[in-house]
Each structure stands twice: as structure tokens, then as C-alpha cells.
Copies of this chain bind each other. A is one copy, B any other.
């Protein structure tokens, strides 16, 4: 039977999405649920299984190549084990076996940043590009490396943690415990800190209004919304962040000489002007010969994770079929 479909699952800290995806990246059916983040690992597995059964219902099992699962965790890709997970209680849990014991399909897990990168690589902004860097600006700053046409995961499969590169010695604290990392300047908490400071300093700023007049309640989204409505103070906070992003990417461009940089995540996708500022810095400051790197926004939005996870499942199926031939 022809394996026409794969199931992609994108597990986030707040939401889980699953989709039934065709080989060419068309999603036939997609379902979502809240992540039971505080109910232990088995509740997360249950939620994943429910979504898988939902999207698979009515499809002959033989038509499904497999299941790809993107997790907000450090995955040892070769061992298929969850090594570290900050936001969900999954570290050390054998997620793959737990899922495979209940659904009769091959499961392949990867870090969510890698899944988003695979998605953009197959179906989005990086289609056809062999060497690119994806960076996702959200609550955390993550990403993925594609080198010579393949995701590069490092010796233990733990690579791609772009957010935790140092750009400022003795810089501001990072949620990971370090300091001066890219995430210290560009994650949602960092943007919120600057937004709250501005809302306190400038009584008239639109940022404060976005937070209902309460400066101490300002979130990163309030800053972004104010900026998108034209508030200069909010815009400058995000342009400063874009400047730091550019400086960090200068180093990555000099190190890896990519052809393309894809900026995704909620902040990357909503703030084109931030991405443009980063591109300007790269154009001015990268070593000669590397400045023609294109810097673009991600194209698939929230779908990148599901599509990339599904592509991973197809790849795994195809490589095993290849072995059996």
C-alpha cells in the first residue's frame, strides 16, 4: 500500500498540534489541544495519543508512513531520548516507546526548532537552500542549522541552541541560568522587561495602554502591539533587539557562511522591521564575501512544526524502506 500520509505532532509548552500531512506538505486535517503541562508526563502522552487518533481516524493504517513528534526539549536524536526539558516534565521519559506502545506506527522525535527548520526547508522560506540558519524568536530563542542540505544536530544531537550564544560578556541574565546570551536580549521575557521599564519611564507611551494602564503588567505582546500601531518607544525597543540580533548573526554568518537566514517564532513573524534591522547590521558588519546572505521571515508560522515533524516521519520511513530493499 502506498504511504500517502504522515502524522506530524508539534508539542509546545501551552499547546499541542497534530496534523495528517501528505508528502507534498498539504495538511488534510489538523487538531489542537491545550498541553496538560502540570499533570505529569503520562498526561502529555495521553494528550498526544488522543490527537494522533483523532487525525488518523478514517485512514487505513497502512497508508500512514509514521509519526514525527517535535518537542520543546533537548533530544538526543540518535538515541531518541529526551535529555532535558525546561517547560514540561519529560526529561528522562521514554516518550517514543510510550507513544509507540499505543499507536502502531514508527515514531521519530526531534527538537521543535529542528522540526520548524525542516518544515521551512521542505515547504517554506528555505525551500531548495542547502545551507541556512533558522532562528526562532519566541518565549525562548531557538533554531536549527541546515548544512549541506541536512539538519545538523551535533555530536549528541544537541546542537542548534542559537539562543544560548554569548553576545555580551557579563550581560543580562538568561532564563537558562547563563548571562549575555542572545535569548537574554530577544526572548519574550527580555522584551517585556524593557517594555515595563519604558512604560514606567514614559507615562504617555502606548505600551502602558496595551497593558490596560498597568506598567508592571506589560508583556512582550503589548510592546509588539504598540509598535505595530506606530508607537516610537515600543518600536525602538524592538529595533534595539533587532540590532542585537544582527550583531549575533554577524558572528554566525562569519562562522557558517550560510546562504540564507530564516527568522521565525512569534516575534520574528510579526516584526518585519526587527528582522530588517538585523539584516542591515549583517549587511554592514559581516566579513566581506558573506554579506549577500539573505535574511527573511519564516513563511509557515505555527504550521512549520507539524509539517516538519511529518517530513521527518516520511524521511525515517523512506530510509528504513531503503535499508530493506
Q: Which residues on A are within 8 Å of B, measured CB to CB? A: 74, 76, 83-84, 130-131, 145, 147-148, 152-162, 164-169, 171, 176, 178, 180-181, 244, 247-248, 250-252, 254-259, 285, 287-290
Contacts and interface: CB of A to CB of B under 8 A. Distances in A.
A183 to B, nearest CB: 10
A259 B78 CA distance: 15
Which of A76, A156, A160 has most B Cβ within 10 Å?
A156
B158 A289 contact: yes
Chain copies in complex: 2
Given A147-B147, A169-B247, A247-B166, A289 B156 contact: yes
Nearest to A176: B287
20 contacts: A74-B287, A84-B287, A84-B289, A130-B155, A153-B257, A155-B259, A158-B257, A158-B287, A158-B290, A159-B255, A159-B256, A164-B250, A164-B254, A165-B255, A167-B251, A168-B168, A169-B247, A178-B285, A181-B251, A251-B251
A153 B180 CA distance: 28
Contacts of A168: 167-169
A154 to B, nearest CB: 3
Nearest to A259: B155
B158 A148 contact: no
Q: Is the interface of A mostly helix, strand, loop or mixed?
A: loop
B156 A290 contact: yes
B159 A257 contact: yes
A215 to B, nearest CB: 26
A232 to B, nearest CB: 22
Closest 5 CB pairs of A and B: A154-B257, A165-B251, A159-B257, A155-B259, A131-B155
Contacts of A252: 165, 255
A242 to B, nearest CB: 13
A159 B76 CA distance: 26
A288 to B, nearest CB: 6
A169 B160 CA distance: 22
Contacts of A167: 166-169, 251
A188 B76 CA distance: 39
Which of A156, A166, A247 has most B Cβ within 10 Å?
A166
B145 A255 contact: yes
Contacts of A289: 74, 76, 83-84, 156, 158
